[in-house]
């Protein structure tokens, strides 16, 4: 896998106030799921505990680290979940070696997340505006870096507001965490890995882009099309009419043929820059699938590489 270009950690807050140290808080109890992934056993959040609701988060105020991954700091300053820390987009999605949307050096990512209060022994809740698209990117990054207690607020800040929970405009520095990286290489794929696995009938390369991108009609790299033998299932199919993640039963039916039908073992998800692919990674995790990787370079890498094969419709 290509080495990531190092950059300095992102400063989480430009203007901060002193943060009172909260002591004597009991740790939240979290159930973990342990599954065989690429031959290894790893501990992660149980599938039925990944998505949480606004009341779940409110009831655990002060016991979990809440990360706002909506994007710009101005949006965070205008209103956020109380106690949340702003995480800049480039913390887990940046241009690395000329490829847009890559995960930066894991140690740099961990340093940024420590600034946001992330520690290995404290549960993390990630949220975005509502559809889970960006929250899923940070969810995957945290799992890849080895965090064992990661949740996503289903419906994001929109669901929080609809539940009539308080919105805060306070800008304060979170208490620095301690996040030691324990990489899970079973959760990431690169170009070399996919090339090696193209003839493996037990692996499905799941392309989560739009049908036009997959067919090669919507070209966003030097070449359009898709990876040979890959299957197209647009990420928007994960959402209901309210832009929320669909109920489990509907998701299971959606992915039944892809995961449990013709294909059987492992799935690799991709899109253009590893965000839509991360959303499907999240959904497959919620469905209990353990052997899932994100192709971090996605089509931004594959479509710009003249040495790899491309198919189109």
pLDDT in tens, 178-222: 999 999 999 999 999 999 999 898 899 999 999 999 999 999 999
- Could you tell me if residue 83 is left (phi over 0), alpha (psi between -120 and 50 degrees) or otherwise beta? left
What whole-number percentage of the chain has pLDDT above 70?
Answer: 85
pLDDT in tens, 214-262: 999 999 999 999 999 999 999 999 999 999 999 999 999 999 888 765 5
Q: Model-level pTM? A: 0.88
Average pLDDT, the chain: 88
Residue 131 has pLDDT above 80, yes or no: yes
Tell me the mean pLDDT in the region 19-24. Answer: 26
Residue 26 has pLDDT above 90, yes or no: no
Cα-atom radius of gyration of the chain, to the nearest Å? 19
Report pLDDT for 27: 28
For the record, the structure tokens of 312 come out as 């189109």
Q: Given pLDDT bands bounded at 50, 70 and 90, which one contains residue 11?
A: very low
The full set of domains in the chain, from first to last, is: 32-184 (3.40.250.10), 190-302 (3.40.250.10)
Residue 84 has pLDDT above 60, yes or no: yes
- Could you tell me if residue 156 is left (phi over 0), alpha (psi between -120 and 50 degrees) or otherwise beta? left
Q: Which residue has the higher pLDDT, 130 or 2?
A: 130
Q: Where are the beta strands (DSSP E) in 192-236?
A: 203-207, 231-232
Residue 264 has pLDDT above 80, yes or no: no
Q: Which residue has the higher pLDDT, 252 or 27?
A: 252
Bridge partner list, 204: 267
Give the active site residues: 271
Return the residue matching tokens 């299932």.
233
- What is the DSSP code (8-state) at residue 191? H
List alpha helices for the chain, DSSP H. 47-50, 54-59, 73-78, 106-115, 133-145, 156-162, 191-197, 211-215, 248-255, 276-286, 298-302
Burial group, residue 170, by CB count within 10 angstroms (0-12, 13-18, 19+): exposed
As a whole number of angstroms, the longest Cα–Cα distance in the chain is: 60
40-45 vs 32-37, strand pairing mode = antiparallel
Report pLDDT for 7: 46
Tell me the mean pLDDT in the region 269-281. Answer: 98
Residue 272 has pLDDT above 70, yes or no: yes
For the record, the structure tokens of 198 come out as 């193209």
Q: Are 129 and 70 in contact (CB under 8 A)?
A: yes
- Alpha-carbon dihedral of residues 106, 291, 191, 282, nearest 10 degrees? -60
């Amino acid at each position: 896998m290509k080495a990531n270009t190092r950059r300095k950690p992102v400063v989480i807050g430009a203007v901060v106030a002193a943060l009172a140290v909260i002591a004597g808080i009991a740790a939240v109890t979290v159930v973990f799921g342990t599954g065989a992934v690429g031959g290894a056993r790893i501990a992660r959040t149980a599938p039925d505990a990944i998505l949480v609701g606004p009341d779940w988060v409110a009831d655990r105020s002060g016991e979990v680290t809440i990360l706002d991954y909506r994007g710009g700091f101005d949006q965070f300053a205008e209103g956020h979940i109380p106690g949340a820390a702003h995480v800049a987009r480039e913390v887990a999605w940046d241009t690395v070696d000329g490829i847009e949307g890559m995960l930066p050096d894991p140690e740099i990512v961990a340093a940024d997340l420590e600034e946001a209060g992330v520690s290995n022994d404290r549960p993390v809740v990630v949220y975005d505006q509502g559809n889970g698209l960006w929250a899923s990117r940070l969810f995957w990054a945290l799992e890849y870096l080895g965090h064992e207690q990661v949740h996503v607020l289903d419906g994001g800040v929109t669901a929080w507001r609809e539940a009539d929970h308080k919105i805060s405009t306070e800008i304060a520095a979170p208490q620095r965490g301690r996040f030691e990286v324990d990489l899970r290489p079973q959760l990431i794929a690169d170009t070399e890995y996919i090339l090696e696995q193209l003839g493996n009938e037990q692996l499905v390369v799941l392309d989560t882009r739009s049908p036009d991108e997959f067919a090669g009609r919507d070209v966003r790299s030097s070449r359009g099309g898709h990876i040979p033998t890959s299957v197209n299932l647009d990420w928007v199919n994960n959402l209901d009419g309210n832009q929320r993640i669909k109920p489990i039963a509907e998701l299971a039916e959606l992915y039944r043929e892809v995961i449990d039908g013709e294909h059987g073992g492992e799935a690799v998800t991709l899109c253009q820059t590893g965000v839509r692919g991360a959303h499907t990674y999240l959904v497959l995790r919620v469905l209990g699938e353990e052997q899932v990787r994100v192709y971090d370079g996605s089509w931004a890498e594959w479509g710009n590489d003249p040495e790899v094969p491309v198919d189109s419709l």
